Every structure is written in C-alpha cells, then in structure tokens.
Amino acid sequence: MSGQMRLLLDKNIVRRYFEGVSALARGLTLVEEERRAILLVHLARGKKRRLFISVEVFNLLQVHGRRVSPAETLMFLKRVEVLYPGRYFKRWARRLRETGFTREDAKVLALGTFGTDAAGAVLGAQVVVTYDRPMMMRKWALERSELQERLARMTEAMDDPFGRARLPDVLYPEEIT
Amino acid sequence: MSEAMVLEEQKGLWIEERLLRQAQLGQRLQVMVGQREIRILPAGTIPARLPYGVSVDEAQTVLREVRDEAIALYGGHPPPADQPYFGGVTWREYQALSDEERQALWDKLYAEFDVEIEATEEQDVRSDALAAG
C-alpha cells in the first residue's frame, strides 16, 4: 500500500469536490473543475493512488463539513487520509516562506516533502494537486530548480529517510495519470 | 443553474432564444448526449482531459454513482436548497456567489484552523519510511 503514488489535495480541490457533489445531489450540471475534482477522488482507489489532505483541511471538514454538508463529508473523508507534518517540516516550510510563498502554500508544499502518514511509514507525496494557478503553480515552476538545490544542501547529511526527501510535482487534476 | 423548468418533447425539443441568451452559450453549441442526460455547451468547451485519462463515458458512470451515493446518504431525496452550507449561508445563497467570493469564504474558514509554522507539531517518521521518489 505504501508503494502507491501519493497525491496531496490542496484546499481548492477539496472545495471543488464539495461544490460538485452538492450540485450533483441536486441534479445540477457540473463545471469542469468540479467534475475533475470528483473523478480524482472517486477513481483514486481503483487507480492505486493514495489521497491525502492537510490536518487543517481535515479539521475544517470535521467542524464545518460534518454540520453543513454531512453526506459529502462522509463520502470524502472515507477516501482520503491525513498527511501529518514530519520531522524537518518546519525548517523546510520556513525556507519556502522566505522564498515568498504564502503560509498556506508553504505548508502544503512542505508537507509534500516532509509529510508522513498516521503510521509514519511514508515521507512526502509525489504530487500536490491544486487549482491555485497564480501562486502555487507558477511560482513553483519558477522557483523549483533553486529550491531543489536548497533541499539537496539541507538533506545531504541527513539520515534515512530524510536524505531521500524530494520536492513534489505540482499538478492540476487533469494532469494526474 | 439558476432556473429550472420542464419542457415537453414533441418530435424534438424547442428551447427559447431568450433561454439560450440567458445561459450565455454563444452562437455555436455543442450537444453532448449521455444516458438520461443531454448537455448543451458552448462549442469552445469541448471536454478537456480528465484525471487518470478516463473517457467521458467512464466519467459519466462514476458521476452517476457519486450522485446515487450522495442522495442515498441524504435519505433518498436531494437536500433542500435552503439547507445551511459552508460559511453561514444557505446552499442557494452559496450558489449565487462568484468563484472569488466562494474562495474567500473558504479562506476564512481555513484561517480558523491554520497555525503558525513554528507552532506545528511534527510527527515521528520511521527510518524505513518510503520516500516519495
């Protein structure tokens, strides 16, 4: 199970999922982003992908989702896991903040490198899936090579598994194969 | 999405011009026929790539299953439009919001649970943990 590709969903993907399922339940037509978010989540298991969300998004859904959108919350949470901050998460998130990422984006991207599952059996996710075009997507593309070097310098003397930490790809749902 | 009505089929389906204009579909239309569903879209919105490379037919099957699962969880009926939704508004009110307004609403909800990076608690990671590669 741990060898499956791990996808970390950002808040915008989660929002689109909820809007889409709520619309479907009422017989409304979906916009493309909603449709893709739903397919991404509901086909993941059959495609051997593990889906993760941050602790912050999990808590948001536990408090608000269960109250106002209980069916959608149940459907979503049974298909995703939480990716917890692992060791060195804070150090890397700080460096991402210094590069100009928002706190939310820095934390999501740092989870993609130093996040772990409930058992501590994985490190990072291969992909952060987002709809956040201006900030995360473009900035990540611009900064990636420099960040890769900074990460390599930071982890070169670290013990396993941290010495093998990698940057995630940042992709749209339709780019997930 | 803002208006629902029942049309009678009589050797075809007539949709009034004002409705097409209201939907802002443009001059050229694309009609997609599925099981128990016909969608009319602007010609420029040809369905783009879907996650995992699934086909439109596969996608429609999944979406039907998702709809059935949601309705079953709601007791066999669609949830009412005046049901409270995220951000202290009803579903109907939420539907009227722009995408920017919806995003701002979710940003506000997220902020309730956001913590400073320094205040984050780090979990143990096993030495044999599988790194994303």
In this prediction the ipTM stands at 0.93
- Minimal CA–CA distance to B41: which of B33, B53, B52? B33
Give every CB contact of residue B70 below 8 A, 6+ residues apart in sequence. A21, A22, A24, A25, A71, A72, A75
Closest Cβ–Cβ partner in B102, B117, B133 for A164:
B133
User: Per mean pLDDT, which range of A105-119, A120-134, B13-27, B75-89 is the poorest?
Assistant: B13-27
Mean pLDDT of A25-37: 93
Q: What local confidence, expressed as pLDDT, does residue B89 receive?
A: 96
- Asked if B79's CB is within 8 angstroms of A22's CB, the reply is yes
Q: pLDDT-derived band of residue B93, with 50, 70 and 90 as boundaries?
A: very high
Q: Indicate if the pLDDT at residue B33 is higher than 70.
A: no
Contact residues, chain A, for B78 at CB < 8 Å: 25-27
pLDDT digits (tens, 9 = 90+) for A33-52: 999 999 999 999 999 999 99
Task: Name the residue among A6, A35, A69 with its Cβ closest to that of B63.
Answer: A35
Q: Give the gap in angstroms from C-alpha B114 to the nearest C-alpha of chain A.
A: 6
Binary contact (B66, A67; C-beta < 8 A)? no
Q: Do the Cβ atoms of B108 and A60 come closer than 8 Å?
A: no
B37 band by pLDDT with thresholds 50, 70 and 90: low
| The predicted structure's pLDDT at residue B24 | 78
Check residue A91 and give its pLDDT: 97
- Say whether pLDDT at B27 is over 80: no
Domains along chain A?
A: 5-175 (3.40.50.1010)
Question: Domains of chain B: which residue ranges?
Answer: 13-46
| A94 contact residues in B (CB cutoff 8 A) | 117
Q: What is the mean pLDDT of chain A?
A: 94
Which range among A123-132, A167-176, B48-57, B93-102 shows the weakest confidence by mean pLDDT?
B48-57
In this prediction, residue A12 has a pLDDT band, given cuts at 50, 70 and 90, of very high
Residue B98 confidence (pLDDT) above 60:
yes
Interface test with B, best of A2, A6, A16, A22 (most B CBs within 10 A): A22
Q: What share of chain B is helix, strand, coil (3-state, %, to 5)?
A: 40, 15, 50
Is B113 within 8 Å of A11 when comparing Cβ atoms?
no
- What pTM was estimated for this model as a whole? 0.84
Distance between CA atoms of residues A132 and A105, nearest Å: 9
More confident residue, B21 or B87: B87
Mutual orientation of helices A11-25 and A32-42 as an angle, nearest 10°? 100
pLDDT at B17: 78
